[in-house]
Amino acid sequence: MNDILIRNNVKIKGEGSQVILFAHGFGCAQNSWQYITDAFLKDYKVILFDYVGSGDSDISQYDYHKYSTLDGYACDVLDIIEALDLQNIIFVGHSVSSMIGMIAAIQKPEAFKKLIFIGPSPRYLNDKDYIGGFEAEDLESIFTHIAEDYEGWAKEISPLVMSAPDRPELAAFLQKSFEETNPNIALAFAMATFKSDYRSELKNLDISNLTLQCSSDIMAPVSVGNYIFENNPRNFLVVMQATGHYPHISEPEETIKEIKDFISDYKSYDIPSKLLND
């Protein structure tokens, strides 16, 4: 157990008994949740961690083969759950961690109570009638830029995905997070993320889940949020006023409200109306 907690730099905070597990996105670490976690410490047990290769995890445990797909990262999540003997957890995943959480929940559904996806995408690449937001040449350009000039890529992409031009300190925070990630690991994580396609798995998630979709997000457009809603019968969709890909950083109050509304067992979130109509 201790090996896993050290490996993933697991931190446990809060006064409550209901567990919320926060899972960070690509190029980030658990400190990306610092803008919202204080709001949950009084009533919940908050668990934070870093994926292997991110933040203060044990980078010596990084395995390029294991983490070549999102399933390897889902193993990290399941290892933490097993090490801490967690049950009925609320999982909050940002970006790629949304699908990582879905994978873990499909493999061990008894451990999960609810899932919240912030800016999720089951596939980033456009495909026939599916609009993921990227063409193949777009992704190749991203991979090339990361491989050849990772710091330059981080500096260029951070303000675009943060989408808060009036608060440049937020983009600077994100850029610093990117730059603290080993460039080779960042490239491998980017490829595992952007080449993934978990659309067919959506129907297998039989746990109540919420998509927090930003009204404008170049990484995960509204079309993706709609696709998840239409293809998972237990999904709820909220299109936020927030823009960008990091609402938990740029618009923490709105993000906190939506998460709390969903996990507070409001009747409106008991069963999706689309499931009742089937």
Does 248 participate in catalysis according to the annotation? no
HEC string of the chain equals CHHHHHHCCCEEECCCCCEEEEECCCCCCHHHHCCCHHHHCCCCEEEECCCCCCCCCCHHHCCCCHHHCHHHHHHHHHHHHHHCCCCCEEEEEECHHHHHHHHHHHHCHHHEEEEEEECCCCECECECCECCCECHHHHHHHHHHHHHCHHHHHHHHHHHHHCCCCCHHHHHHHHHHHHCCCHHHHHHHHHHHHCCECHHHHHHCCCCEEEEEEEECCCCCHHHHHHHHHHCCCEEEEEEEEECCCHHHHCHHHHHHHHHHHHCCCHHHCCCHHHHCC
Tell me which of 54, 57, 95, 121 is the catalytic residue: 95
Tell me which of 50, 76, 79, 217 is the catalytic residue: 217
Does 217 participate in catalysis according to the annotation? yes
Does 95 participate in catalysis according to the annotation? yes
Tell me which of 24, 94, 245, 248 is the catalytic residue: 245
Q: Which residues are catalytic?
A: 95, 217, 245
